A and B are shown apart, each in its own frame.
Chain A
Amino acid sequence: MSIKKISKEELSQLVSTLIASGDRVEGVQAKDDKFAFGPLTSADDLRLDYDVTLLSPRKYVLPPVESLMTFEVGGRYQSEYDTEKLTLIGVHPYDMIALNQIDQVFSQDEVDNHYTTRRKNMTLIACDVVTPSENVFASSMGTATVSEGYDILLTDIGDAYVADAPTEKGQALLCNAADATAEDLAKRQAVQERNQSDLNRHPLNCKIEDLPQLLEKAYDHPVWEEKAASCFSCGSCNQVCPTCYCFNVQDDVSWDLKSGTRSRAWDGCLLENFANVAGDHNFRKKRNDRFRHRLYRKGKYVPEKLGIGTACVGCGRCITACVPGIANPVDIYNTLLNDIKL
C-alpha cells in the first residue's frame, strides 16, 4: 500500500473510533509536567508532541508484574495468557527499536509464549519525534528513526500526518485515507533527517559498531570503580530502560495452602541480589561489577548475541532517573574512548 496522509482531525476521529469500539487503547498523555503511556479515554488526551515518557512501552509487552500460571502444590498447573487486544499509540522510534529487540529475545531459543501471545494481540502506532527530550541521544545510536516493527508510523508534517502502514492491521485502520503527495513525503523526509542529527544531547565520540571492541579492552578501567562509588544499586536505570528485560519469578499460595500463583516481576542487574544463586552465592557481589555489567550489556553482550548495532537506544531515561547522576552511557563510553585506542 502506498504511504498515506491524514489530517490531525482525521487522526483524532480514528482514535475516537478505536476508543468507542471498547477495545483497550493506550497512548501518550501528560502526567504533571511529564508524559506517560496510559489508558486513553478521549482522543483529546493524546499528546504526540511529547518529548519522552517516564516509563518505556516495554511495560505493555512485559508488565511490571504478571501472573504466569496457577498451580496446586504437588499437583497440576495451568498456564495463564493475556489475550486482550491492545492498540498502543505514540511509540517513538527509539522505543520501537527497543521493542523489536525484546521481541527477538523472547521469540528465540525457548519461545516465551506469555510474551508472544500478548504481543500478537497488539497494534502499534509509532510516531516520529516532534520535541527532543532533555537527555535523548538517539542520533548517536542510529535509533532516531525506525523502519520496521510498527503497524503505522505517523510523521507530523505541520498541518497533517504522513502515515506509513506496512502491515494489514495498520492498513485496515487507514483504508479511508488519501495518498501522500510527493510534497508530503519530502516534508516527512525533512523531519526524519532533522531527527537523525538533532536528537543528540549527548554525542557519542565513536560509531556504535566500535563499542564491542572498546569494551573488550575496558574491563579493568578505573571508571567503573569511580562511578560505582556513588551508585545506590537502586536499579532505576534498569527499570526505566526500554531494552532491559530481566525478571524474577516468585510463587505464593492462597490461604488453603494448596492452590498457588506463579508470577514474574521486573528485576534489574544493578540490584544487589540480582546475581544471587543457589547456595547463597552472588557472582556480582561488588557494586562496580554490577555497574559495569549494564554498560557491557548495552554496548557488547546483547548486540553480539542478537547481531544488532546497540542495545542502548539512546532514550536518555536512565540519565534522568539516576539520582546520583552516574548512569549516562555516553559519558562512560566517551571516558573510555579518551583512554583506550580502538
Chain B
Amino acid sequence: MSKPRVAIFDFACCEGCQLQIVNLEEEILDLLGVVDVVEWREAMSEQSEAYDIAIIEGSITRPEDEERIKDIRSKASILIALGACASIGGVNKLKNNFDLNDVKKCVYGDAADMPHLETAMTKAVDEVVKVDFKIQGCPVEHDELTYVLRSLLIGKTPEIPDYPVCVECKAKGNICRWEYSEQCLGPITRAGCGARCPSANNRCFGCRGYVDNPNVDAAKDVFEKYGLTVEDLKSRMVLFGSKQGPTL
C-alpha cells in the first residue's frame, strides 16, 4: 500500500506551529516512515498537484489567499487546520477590531498605500473552506498533533477535547488562579494543552479557542462577582477571542 501523501501550507502566521513539526525530532522520522510529505515550503522545494492530507497553518487575510486555500481544498481529501491562526484566526484577528486603513497605517506607515499591502478582514480557514479537523493551540502541542495524525492514518476519528482547560488543570491538582483573583479563561477554553499556563502559575488567556458551547454569560457573572466589568472580560478575551464565535 502506498503511503498517504501529506502537504503542508502556510498562510498568515509566525510559522511557530510548523516549527513544532520540525521540533518533533526523532518522531519526525517515525512520521516520515508512514507518510509521504509531497509539499512543504519550509523544508523542501517540490510542489505537488494532489495530496491525501493537507495541513494548513495560518489565517486567511488577503483576497488572493482565499483563492489559494480553495484550490488546496479541491485537491485534498482531508484538510487539517494547524494552530490558532488557522483554527480560530488567532492573534491575527486582533486587526478585525479596527478600521483596516488605520491598521495598515499603523503597521506600514508611509508605505501603507502600496498595492501589495492590500489586506482584508482576517478569517479562520473554516470561514472560507470546509475544515475536517482542527488542532488548536498557539503553538500546537506535539502530542495532540501526532495523535491526530496517527488516528487518521489508521482510519479512526481522533477525539479532540470539547471540554474546558479546567478539567486538565484540576487533574493536575493546581490551585485555581481565581483563588488569587486572576481572571483565568480556563472555564471557556478548549483543553488539550494539559493546562500549561495555570500549571505554571499563570492564567489561561484562551489560545486554544472556546469550547463548542462556552457559557459566556457565566463568565460575565463571574467577572461581576469579582468586582470586574464586562469590559474587563472583553479585554481578557481579545487576544485570541476577537471576532471568534461568541463575542460580547
Does A324 make an interface contact (CB < 8 A)? yes
Are B162 and A273 neighbours in the complex by a CB distance under 8 Å? yes
Chain A contacts of B166 at CB under 8 A? 232, 234-236, 239, 323
Interface locus among B131-139, B146-154, B238-246: B146-154
* A229 CB–B CB distance under 8 Å: yes
Cβ A272 vs Cβ B211 within 8 A: yes
* A255-B33 in contact given A32-B175, A232-B187, A239-B171 (Cβ < 8 Å): yes
* A324 / chain B contacts, CB cutoff of 8 Å: 218, 221-222, 225
| Smallest CB separation, B205 vs chain A (Å) | 16
Which residue in B34, B171, B188, B215 is a CB contact (below 8 Å) of A255?
A: B34
Say yes or no: A232-B164 contact (C-beta < 8 A), given A252-B150, A255-B34. Answer: yes
CA distance A204 to B164 in the complex (A): 31
Known contacts A253-B154, A255-B30; A272/B212 CB under 8 A: yes
Contact across chains for B170 and A240 when beta carbons are under 8 A apart: yes
- Chain B residues whose C-beta falls within 8 Å of the C-beta of A251 in the assembled complex: 156
User: Would you call A236 and B170 a contact (CB within 8 A)?
Assistant: yes
Alpha-carbon distance A235/B215, docked complex (angstroms): 13
> A272 to B188, alpha carbons, bound, how many Å?
12
B27 to chain A, nearest CB (A): 7
A266 contacts the other chain (CB 8 A): yes
Q: Judging by beta carbons under 8 Å apart, are B159 and A239 in contact?
A: no
Please encode chain B, from 47 to 59, with 1 for each CB lying within 8 Å of some chain A CB and 0 for all others. Answer: 0000000000000
| CB <8 Å contact, A252 and B147 | yes
Q: Is the CB of B170 within 8 A of A323?
A: no
Say whether B217 faces chain A, with CB atoms less than 8 Å apart.
Answer: yes
* B78: Cβ under 8 A from any A Cβ: no
Flag whether B186 is at the interface (Cβ < 8 A). Answer: yes
**Shortest distance between the CB of B31 and any CB in chain A (Å):** 7
Q: What's the nearest-Cβ distance from chain A to residue B126, in Å?
A: 19
* A250-B159, A255-B150 given; A321·B164 CB < 8 A: no
Partner of A36, one of B154, B173, B179: B173
Question: Does A158 make an interface contact (CB < 8 A)?
Answer: no
Min C-beta distance of B73 to chain A, whole Å: 24
Q: A273: which of B163, B176, B178, B188 is its contact (CB, 8 Å)?
A: B163
Taking the complex as formed, is B94 at the interface, i.e. its CB lies under 8 A from any CB of chain A?
no
B213 contact set on A, CB distance < 8 A: 233, 272
**In the docked arrangement, what's the CA distance between A235 and B161, Å?**
13
Which residues of chain B from 32 to 64 have any CB-CB distance to chain A below 8 Å in the complex? 33-34
Tell which of B27, B170, B187, B217 has the most Cβ of chain A within 10 Å.
B170
Q: Is A31 an interface residue (CB 8 A)?
A: yes
Q: Which of B31, B33, B175 contacts A31 (CB 8 A)?
A: B175
- Within A211-243, the residues touching B (CB, 8 Å) are 229-236, 239-240
| Interface flag for A55 (CB, 8 Å) | yes
State A250–B198 Cα separation when bound (angstroms): 25
B153's nearest neighbour on chain A, judged by CB, is A257
Complex alpha-carbon distance, A321 and B186, angstroms: 13
Within 8 A of A (CB), among B15-40: 27, 30-31, 33-34
Contact A255 B31 (CB under 8 A): yes
Give the residues in chain B near A31, CB-CB below 8 Å.
173, 175
Let me know if B167 is at the binding interface, CB within 8 A: yes
CA distance A31 to B176 in the complex (A): 12
Give chain A nearest CB distance to B133 CB in angstroms. 16
A340 lies within 8 A of chain B by Cβ: no
Structural contact, B186 and A266, CB atoms closer than 8 A: no
A287: CB under 8 A from chain B? yes
Residue of A nearest to B220 (CB): A230
Which residues of A from 316 to 339 have beta carbons under 8 Å from B?
Answer: 320-321, 323-325
Cβ–Cβ < 8 Å partners of B147 in chain A: 252
A231 touches B170 (CB 8 A): no
Instruction: List B residues 187-204 near A (Cβ within 8 Å).
Output: 187-188
For the complex, what is the distance from the CA of A295 to the CA of B31, rounded to whole Å? 46
Known: A273-B162, A323-B176, A323-B222. A233 touches B154 (CB 8 A): no
Minimum C-beta distance from B172 to chain A (A): 8
Q: How far does the alpha carbon of A172 sit from the alpha carbon of B162 in the complex, in Å? A: 48
Which chain A positions have C-beta within 8 A of B164? Answer: 232-235
A53 to chain B, nearest CB (A): 9
A63 and chain B: residue at smallest CB distance:
B171
A272–B215 Cα distance when bound, in Å, is 11
Is the Cβ of A55 less than 8 Å from the Cβ of B173? yes
Judged by a CB distance under 8 angstroms, whether A246 is at the interface is no
Besides the contacts A240-B170, A252-B151, what 20 more A-B pairs have beta carbons closer than 8 Å? A34-B175, A54-B175, A59-B173, A230-B218, A231-B218, A232-B187, A232-B188, A232-B218, A233-B211, A234-B164, A234-B167, A235-B167, A254-B150, A257-B154, A266-B171, A268-B167, A272-B162, A272-B212, A272-B213, A325-B225
Q: Could you pull out 12 A-B pairs where Cβ atoms are within 8 angstroms?
A: A32-B175, A36-B173, A54-B174, A55-B170, A233-B163, A233-B215, A235-B167, A252-B151, A272-B212, A273-B162, A324-B221, A325-B225
Which 6 A-B residue pairings sit nearest by Cβ, starting from the closest? Answer: A255-B30, A239-B170, A232-B187, A64-B171, A234-B166, A230-B218
